[in-house]
Chain A
Amino acid sequence: MAVEVKKQTQFTMVQALRSALFEEMERDENVVCLGEDIGPRGGVFLVTEGLIDRFGKDRVIDTPLAEAGIIGAALGMALRGLKPVAEIQFIDFLYPGFDNLVSEVAKMRYRSAGQFGASMVVRSPYGGGVRGGGYHSQSPEAYYVATPGLKVVVPSNPYDAKGLLISSIRDPDPVVFMEPKKIYRAVKSELPEGPYEVPLGKAAVSRAGKHVSVITFGAMVPVAWEAADKMKADGVEVEVVDMRTLQPYDTDAIMQTVAKTGHVVVLQEAPRIGGYGGEIAAFVAEQAIEYIEGPIMRVAGHDTPFPYALEKAYMPTSDRVCRAIKKTLNF
């Protein structure tokens, strides 16, 4: 079934991502998708549905069940002029390919003193809240952010998802593109016709406010909005900053929001210790302490493996965000 993407104006994130892949593959014959079950099955979340009908099995490759092989083959393809977009079915399954991603892909440019690069994208759904258990729910961005050479991108809405994926495919460096599966189909947005880019490395103020900044990304953005709605009753205006690119990250955007509000809550669903939120908090403490009027708070998942039955207790909620907001405001 050929997928009609052009006639729609309202897109879910899945449809927006599919439309990005479709248009980039139309634009550039070197763009190739590879991964497990991405052919006739269309990927387990249907992001690649219909691509094989349009572009054929040479450009939409159903690979063997072998994640290191997927990452390594994609790197080899990138080294010889293709633009691979590898899908890892769940980001929890990327660990067998972790070595190839962090030792090979990430370091290719540096170790060859710029003679080789690795222009490729590794797309993968991440995150909890979908009853996925311990191995279909994790949010492992910290590992990849801690690896110089990789870029890490996480969209929070369909518009950004399409523009960021297109930018990632066109980027000269390797991008780990984390897709928040909990909100794959939660909202629709209006998308312009045809391809467009959302720049990497730029955060967005997804809701303006003046009393406190909630700095977050991906599937936690709607949680931050919910907290912002709840805080209105107390007369608190919450600014929600959506990082969009976790590395390299938008330090200007953080400085601006901190200068404006003086209070920071960092929100992530990964465990707290060693998490990305710690980097943001450290940056604020080092660079913007003169604006800070209360403790920099972290709201995170728990320092446990991801639980199946206790998922609701694990995931950060808007109430937890509100408590953190009140704590920093009432300091």
Chain B
Amino acid sequence: MAGGTNERRMKSAPKLRTPLPDGLTKQALRDMYYAMVMTRLCDDRAFALNRQGKIPFAATCQGHEAVQVGAAYALKRGTDWLVPYYRDTAMAVAFGVTAKEQLMCLFARKGDIFSSGRQFPNHYSVPDRNIASISSIIAAHVTHAVGMALAFKMRKEPRVTLVSFGEGSTSEGEWHEALNFAGIHKVPCVFLCENNEYAISVPQQLQMAVRNVADRAAGYGIPGVLCDGTDVMATYVTVREAVERARRGEGPTLVEAKCYRAMSHTSDDNQLTYRTNDEIEALKGRDPIPKFEAWLKERGVLDDDAMASLRAKAQAEVDEATDWAEEQAPPTEDDLYTHVYAQGPLA
């Protein structure tokens, strides 16, 4: 993987022909499938709860499950760090976030472990699972990932950060500043672009004049590589190579995973104002979950019955989490001033 863009040509209907990748046991593959399915169900639940008026807001990662789970499994859990963005539910789930924790953040309960109800959904802060804290400001977090990676390098810790973002983020000045800094200092960081072709309503051709985000890597003296982000194994293999390169001290890589956004930007958006029904219908052929199911069956990892039973287990987990989280208490006004400063409220 030398400098410059290494474009892997994607077919309209990619076939999963990669061998069982190194480092993935059959149990890991089952867990990956479960993470994708459970996230999908959580996302469906989030939108339903929003439409029922039970939660104020939802943003889903549908269409991104493969890239997120593939990338998360390319990292060492408990060692490497995720610096995700707000559409990374499946990535967080693959790094250990449970349905209960996800539902608690959707309901913004006091016991929400990410922010105690202070943040929008999917704005993670999970130090015990190496997931950084994020805001809603596009691309600001990319600079943090670089600083974290610089700290690993300086303290000689064999860790890697993976920071993810959409293609719209790559227009931001902070994105450029982060990649420039990372290239100069060869920090152990993987930049993962989940290119879903839209930034809310603005399509890629109004976002950039280049065909691929990965082409931008050349400007930072780092490799840029493409993969099919609806193919969990292709993403896993590509990101793993970038992670290993970072861990060897050879510096950052920009990975662009082409995926798609199945739903509106958020519960407050209606994509039919800028996208046709035909376009949205056509996306269904790219759904990463059936693709992965076909691959798992073909390899003999899971048969239909096993998959059905995992889906039922995920559904039960999401249902139970929903009922439980809804019953939990919201924060009270006593919590308003805690954690503004380390010493607690000011006089």
CB pair A80 B148 closer than 8 Å: yes
Q: Quick check: is B155 within 8 A (CB to CB) of the other chain?
A: yes
Give the chain A neighbours of B143 by CB distance below 8 A. Answer: 68-69, 71-73, 75-76, 100
Interface residues on A, range: 35 or more
CB pair B144 A104 closer than 8 Å: yes
A106-114, A135-143, A208-216 - interface stretch: A106-114
Q: A32, A59, A113: which contacts B125 (Cβ < 8 A)?
A: A113
CA distance A63 to B181 in the complex (A): 8
CB pair A79 B339 closer than 8 Å: no
Q: Quick check: is B133 within 8 A (CB to CB) of the other chain?
A: yes
Give the chain B neighbours of A78 by CB distance below 8 A. Answer: 147
Known contacts A77-B151, A81-B151, A113-B116: does B181 contact A69 (CB below 8 Å)? Answer: yes
Closest B residue to A30 by beta carbon equals B155
Q: Quick check: is B177 within 8 A (CB to CB) of the other chain?
A: yes
Give the chain A neighbours of B118 by CB distance below 8 A. Answer: 110-111, 113
Closest A residue to B157 by beta carbon equals A80
CB pair B148 A104 closer than 8 Å: no
Q: B81, B126, B151, B178: which contacts A82 (Cβ < 8 A)?
A: B151
- A residues 100-154 with Cβ under 8 Å of B? 100, 103-104, 107-117, 148-149, 151
- A residues 10-32 with Cβ under 8 Å of B? 32
Mark B119-139 against chain A: 1 for CB-CB distance below 8 A, else 0: 100010111000011010100
Give the chain B neighbours of A75 by CB distance below 8 A. Answer: 143-144, 147
Give the chain A neighbours of B180 by CB distance below 8 A. Answer: 64, 66, 69
Give the chain A neighbours of B210 by CB distance below 8 A. Answer: none
CB pair A76 B135 closer than 8 Å: no
Q: Quick check: is B13 within 8 A (CB to CB) of the other chain?
A: no
CA distance A113 to B119 in the complex (A): 10
Q: A59, A64, A117, A173: which contacts B181 (Cβ < 8 A)?
A: A64
Known contacts A73-B181, A100-B174: does B133 contact A115 (CB below 8 Å)? Answer: yes
Q: Quick check: is A192 within 8 A (CB to CB) of the other chain?
A: no
Q: Quick check: is B150 within 8 A (CB to CB) of the other chain?
A: yes
Min CB–CB distance A148 → chain B (angstroms): 5
Q: Quick check: is B206 within 8 A (CB to CB) of the other chain?
A: no
Give the chain A neighbours of B81 by CB distance below 8 A. Answer: 80
Q: Which of B123, B135, B154: most chain A Cβ within 10 A? A: B154
CA distance A63 to B127 in the complex (A): 28
Interface residues in chain B, defined as those with a beta carbon under 8 Å from any beta carbon in chain A: 81, 114-116, 118-119, 123, 125-127, 132-133, 135, 137, 140-152, 154-155, 173-174, 177-178, 180-181, 184, 338-342, 346-347
In the complex, 7 of the A-B residue pairs with CB atoms within 8 angstroms, ordered by the A residue number, are: A64-B181, A72-B177, A76-B146, A80-B152, A104-B135, A108-B133, A116-B127
